[in-house]
Amino acid sequence: MPLYRLIRPILFRFDPERAHALSLALWRGIGSSDALSAAAARALAPRNPRPVELLGLRFPHRVGLAAGYDKDGIAWRGLAAAGFGHVEVGTVTPRPQPGNPRPRVFRLAGDRSLINRLGFPSAGARRVSPLLETRRSNAAVLGVNLGKNKDTPLERAVFDYEDGMDRLGPVADYLVVNVSSPNTPGLRELERRDKLEPLLARLVARRDEIAGRAERVLPLLVKLSPDLDDTALDEALAAVEATSVDGLIATNTTLDRPELRSRRRDEPGGLSGAALAARSTAFVRAVHRRTGGRLPIVASGGVMGPADARAKLEAGASLVQLYTGLVYEGFGLLRRIADEP
């Protein structure tokens, strides 16, 4: 997008978290004003949206905003007004926590990628829930991505997820169980079948209670790591299918380091952006093949342009999500992808 290419060098002079905070403040302001929301929609929203029926919900189109951009739900109304088909808030933990020490986000500009080791900084479910209660008049589907607190032992993780579901399920259109962030110590152990299946069985039962009281659907998805090998993926999918979870987010960030040019390439943390694109698409294809297309897939990871989105849809995804692509391409990326035939 020509205009964004003029602005991006200025934004990149700021620390990544500072630049992100400025963008959230902008979208929060846009979301508080009907006039500004309408202007954002005129400038950015898809011109020819094609609705998608999935998970018992109606999505205005296939392109959404991934978790991580609006962690605490402060700007989702403005982001929805911009035209995203769905906005996924979070990751939200039950209790507030600061996340890992700074610096913890690094641009790999030469690779059009990011490394982050944020560690679920969160205002906590009690503070996030009221921000999601009052809906504005837009059609975007609202998802909430749930995590556990860093100091919660793995054997008690289920209580953290249940707490998050109880507080945020009533105000969300769908929920995501995040067991795959590489930045919370030990969290990925929950992807093992012996831990994942009992966890999901409890959470599906809790979801059913929440949805039953509200007399509506409340899809529950799981976000998986792209770093699972074939055996681990088979085990995780067996747990997902055994518990009747509704779908998958594929994928989280990777600890793998392909050939990268940027000097910050060895920073610890999860890698996202263009360097993740092929790995994430291959993961989507593997999931689709192993499940025979029975399990809806939301593809996230390395969607930097229409070709990346198309590759993930052709691999078996039903929806795609953006985040790092917005850092390098700007919000015009939304319309470019959603309006493609």
Tokens linked to 271? 């890698």
Domain CATH for 136: 3.20.20.70
In terms of phi and psi (left: phi > 0; alpha: psi -120 to 50; beta: otherwise), the region of 308 is alpha
Contact 176, 249 (CB under 8 A): yes
Calculate the alpha carbon distances from 298 to 45, 186, 196 in Å.
20, 24, 19
- Residue 130: how many CB atoms within 10 A of its CB? 11
- The domain in which residue 191 lies consists of 2-338
Q: Which residues are catalytic?
A: 181
pLDDT score at 123: 98
How far, in Å, CA of 275 to CA of 316, rounded?
A: 20
Predicted local distance difference test score (pLDDT) of residue 5: 85
Longest Cα–Cα distance in the chain: 53
Report yes or no: 315 and 341 within 8 Å, Cβ to Cβ: no
- pLDDT of 2 reads 66
Write the pLDDT tens digit of every residue in 284-312.
999 999 999 999 999 999 999 999 999 99
Task: Please identify every stretch of the chain with a pLDDT value under 70, giving residue numbers as ranges.
Answer: 1-2, 135-138
Domain count, the chain: 1
Closest to 103 measured CA to CA, from 3, 25, 15, 174:
15
Q: What is the DSSP letter of 190?
A: G
Q: How many CB atoms within 10 Å of residue 188?
A: 19
Whole-angstrom Cα distance, residue 338 to residue 341? 8
* pTM score, whole prediction: 0.96
Q: Tell me if 239 sits within 8 A of 196, measured CB to CB.
A: yes
pLDDT at residue 137 in the model:
57
Give the list of residues 6+ apart from residue 124 with CB closer than 8 angstroms, or none: 92, 93, 94, 95, 96, 97
Would you say the C-alpha torsion 186, 171, 68, 192 has a positive or negative sign? positive
